[in-house]
Structure 1
Amino acid sequence: MWMCKTVQVTDAPPLPAWTGFNRATAKSIAPPITKIGYLPVIDASPTEMSTVNTVLVKSIDVINKLNLPSGVLVMDQAIYSKAQQIRWQNQEFESRLVLRLGEFHTAMSFMAVIGKQYKDAGLEDLMIESGVSAQGSVNGVMSGHHYNRSIRCHKLVAEAMHRLRFSEFLDSLPEAEYLGALDCLIRLRESFPEDFSDEAKSDHVKMLQAKYKAHLEERSRSNANYAFWNSYLEMVQVLLLFIRATREGGWELHLSVLRDMLPWYFAYGRVNYSRYLPVYLQEMSALKVTIQVCMKNSAKVNLPFSGQIVRLP
């Protein structure tokens, strides 16, 4: 997407941003309509052990009434940690309940890591001076607490950096290679949206990507500042892949991206996620065959690229 946005094609409409781009290129079918029901409210603190235990007991009751072998519960990290402590001490809970970490708070925590890494390196000033974020709300962007605003700011900054970086790569090419790259990008741009995925897999696009990757590695070795901001783009890419996996129901991509996120939680003192995310990854990778197949099959349904943050089973 970033490569295409560096080229202007006559009479072609402008390419949409990341979300619109994914919606336009995703080949999917509408999923069947599902019914959502609400259970009785438990009027107690959600982080109390007794409350969490009640939730697990009620979940078993619901599973029994529906004649299901097991059930999946999604919760944020604060409740997940307590629920796991209870579940590990109860054989029925352990065998019949699958606990999952909620994607929303996981993404917020990762944005806090990004903010901590790059805030004082100039990212905060860049967002304020460019008008992407107001000075009064930039702390919420850096901490990830303002989820929508934070996602928007990182997408805008990352797109601008991607386009500048790729333009610099094109300018470094000899004239013959530059013209070949330009022709490749124009064909890729003109294939949007119907044939974009097929064109992106073509040999000439793969060759251009290989040259671009080699250029980035060479520039990163010779320029520490260049390498530093390359790492910002890589972290934002990990964040966007995580969101994409969630919205499309990509189970294997979900687990793969979490493995990429995990070292950053350790590096920047996100103690709770550092403690429980390895547990979550281990349990999700070792699920019973029937449940694992169900999770993987969710990716084969080709769910549309949704605006919802929680889409996985």
Structure 2
Amino acid sequence: MPPKMLPELAFKRVGPKFPMQANFTPPAENQESYDASMLQYNTHLLCRWLSSQGKQQVPGFGGFISSTGKVPPRKSTIDFYTPINQPITDNAVVYELLKRSEAATEEVGQPYTINTFDLGVVMKACPIVWKYGEEFSKHVILIGKFHTAMNYMGRLTGRKCLGAGYAEILIEAGLATSGCLKSILSRKSYAKALFSLKVVTEALERLLFNVFLEEEKPDIPYETLINLIHCCTSESLDSTLKDPALLKLIDQFLRYQDKVRRGHLGKTGMFWLSVMDHARLVFMMDFAVKTNDFELFHHCNGAMADLFFAYDGHNYARYLTWFEAFLTNIDLSHPVALDYIKLGAIAVARSLIPGALAAVDKTMEETFMRFAKSSGMSVFMYIHIWPSHYPVDNVSQSRIRCEG
């Protein structure tokens, strides 16, 4: 049984320490993964554009990922642990959680304890790990994708797009009412905010593509795209992405976007293209989790820090900058830990639907947090997730702990 009251934990905060041979340039594989994912994204947009004249036959980007994705080997197993009846804002509660995580991890013989938290808990857990480095040398702290993307959308739509007409677009298009508009722009209604951002971004993408067609008059591989529209599978997508004509078209479109960024369509065009770039980061972060793509996840987290810094998200800017550097050097600071992370520490298989993995912190919010949360966060529970890649019938198998 846990103690009724945990002792107060007070200490002088210290910053992170990196290995002597630390490299602060992200791996080239991250950019390659982003480019490959954006190639799929642009191919999907072209299919949607071509199919928009009649009844839309191509699903949204999430459905497209599912249609062309892989089926998880099995569902992740989620366990619930004893609640700690104290606020998660207390250092002592976070310290107790880290120790319980470590004890459970040692029982199954796993060398590292991997925890996923939202930023609020990360800001409590990291200073403890940094201060007591020897005691917590085997701990790996991950920042949850769900809360990062949610707050990033809030900075984008509620701050950067404030006064630019984004809210008016949502109202005029019937995507929002005056009653729910504030919660969408402030990212509190995550599902509505994400859906609205996808719709507006796709409209902007098509407007830009139509201008590109008028000015550049490129050749369009209609037959290749139609084949993918009629047979949206992973095999068909792989074949489509090898088509030289399609690759040439997308390359021309990307070069045209660079011209727009330099002012080819004026400052209004520059602004809305920058909004599209930020929105694409959100979609790619979602893509990374749905497909368990660690390199893409790493890239998106690092790239998001700039917008947070520009619009008063200084805590996210600070910790995402550290997070990018930490993941870049994790092979030096925590050898072999990256292998465990890639096995499923950033995503949970809650179903056997292809390409539909869920973020760890989103899983927390949709399961026990619905019932455990109170207005003052006075009850704190945590979960143990066994990734779908790990057989749970053999207790000797090492398993990843993702808790929060």
TM-score by length of 1: 0.89
**1:234 corresponds to which residue?**
277
**1:293 corresponds to which residue?**
339
**1:214 corresponds to which residue?**
255
Contact kept in structure 2, 1:245 and 1:254, CA below 8 Å: yes
SS in 1 for 2:140: strand
List per-residue Cα deviations over 1:241-277 (Å, max 9, x = no partner). Answer: 0111122211111011112111111111101112222
Question: Which whole-Å CA distance do the structure 1 matches of 2:272 and 2:54 have between them?
Answer: 34
**2:91 corresponds to which residue?**
49
**1:172 corresponds to which residue?**
215
Question: Which whole-Å CA distance do the structure 2 matches of 1:276 and 1:145 have between them?
Answer: 21
Whether 2:175 is the aligned partner of 1:132: answer: yes
Q: 1:259 aligns with which of 272, 296, 302?
A: 302
- CA change 1:298–1:192 in 2 (3 A) is same
**2:239 corresponds to which residue?**
198
Name the structure with the higher helix share: 1
Q: CA deviation at 1:135?
A: 1.2
**2:164 corresponds to which residue?**
121
Q: CA deviation at 1:240?
A: 0.5
SS in 2 for 1:238: helix
Question: Which whole-Å CA distance do the structure 2 matches of 1:99 and 1:3 have between them?
Answer: 39
Gaps of at least 5 residues in structure 2 are: 1-43, 364-386, 388-399
Q: CA deviation at 1:9?
A: 8.9
- CA change 1:100–1:187 in 2 (3 A) is same
**2:6 corresponds to which residue?**
none
- CA change 1:75–1:93 in 2 (3 A) is farther
SS in 1 for 2:194: helix
**2:62 corresponds to which residue?**
19
Contact kept in structure 1, 2:291 and 2:357, CA below 8 Å: no
Question: Which whole-Å CA distance do the structure 2 matches of 1:10 and 1:236 have between them?
Answer: 25
List per-residue Cα deviations over 1:42-100 (Å, max 9, x = no partner). Answer: 00000111111111121222123223222111111111111111111223443121111
- CA change 1:263–1:70 in 2 (3 A) is same
- CA change 1:54–1:137 in 2 (3 A) is same
The amino acid that maps onto 2:232 is F
The amino acid that maps onto 1:217 is D
Contact kept in structure 1, 2:117 and 2:141, CA below 8 Å: yes
List per-residue Cα deviations over 1:130-163 (Å, max 9, x = no partner). Answer: 1111111111111111111111110111112212
Contact kept in structure 2, 1:69 and 1:96, CA below 8 Å: yes
Question: Which whole-Å CA distance do the structure 1 matches of 2:133 and 2:213 have between them?
Answer: 60
Question: Which whole-Å CA distance do the structure 2 matches of 1:279 and 1:9 have between them?
Answer: 43
Q: 1:107 aligns with which of 140, 143, 149?
A: 149
The amino acid that maps onto 1:249 is N
Whether 2:332 is the aligned partner of 1:277: answer: no
Question: Which whole-Å CA distance do the structure 2 matches of 1:225 and 1:86 have between them?
Answer: 46
**1:83 corresponds to which residue?**
125
SS in 2 for 1:37: strand
Q: Which moved more, 1:290-299 or 1:260-269?
A: 290-299
Question: Which whole-Å CA distance do the structure 1 matches of 2:314 and 2:287 have between them?
Answer: 25
Question: Which whole-Å CA distance do the structure 2 matches of 1:165 and 1:96 have between them?
Answer: 49
Contact kept in structure 1, 2:292 and 2:357, CA below 8 Å: no
Question: Which whole-Å CA distance do the structure 2 matches of 1:12 and 1:172 have between them?
Answer: 28
Question: Which whole-Å CA distance do the structure 1 matches of 2:172 and 2:53 have between them?
Answer: 32
Question: Which whole-Å CA distance do the structure 2 matches of 1:185 and 1:170 have between them?
Answer: 16
Q: Which one has more relative contact order, counting CA pairs under 8 Å at least 6 apart?
A: 2
Gaps of at least 5 residues in structure 1 are: none
SS in 2 for 1:126: helix
List per-residue Cα deviations over 1:99-126 (Å, max 9, x = no partner). Answer: 1111111111111121111131000111
Task: Report sequence identity in percent.
Answer: 23
Q: What does 1:20-35 correspond to in 2, within 5 Å? A: 20-26=63-69, 28-35=70-77
Q: Which moved more, 1:180-189 or 1:106-115?
A: 180-189
The amino acid that maps onto 1:133 is A
Whether 2:147 is the aligned partner of 1:97: answer: no
Contact kept in structure 1, 2:117 and 2:144, CA below 8 Å: yes
Q: What does 1:57-72 correspond to in 2, within 5 Å? A: 57-72=99-114
List per-residue Cα deviations over 1:12-57 (Å, max 9, x = no partner). Answer: 861111111110112x132234432111100000011111111112
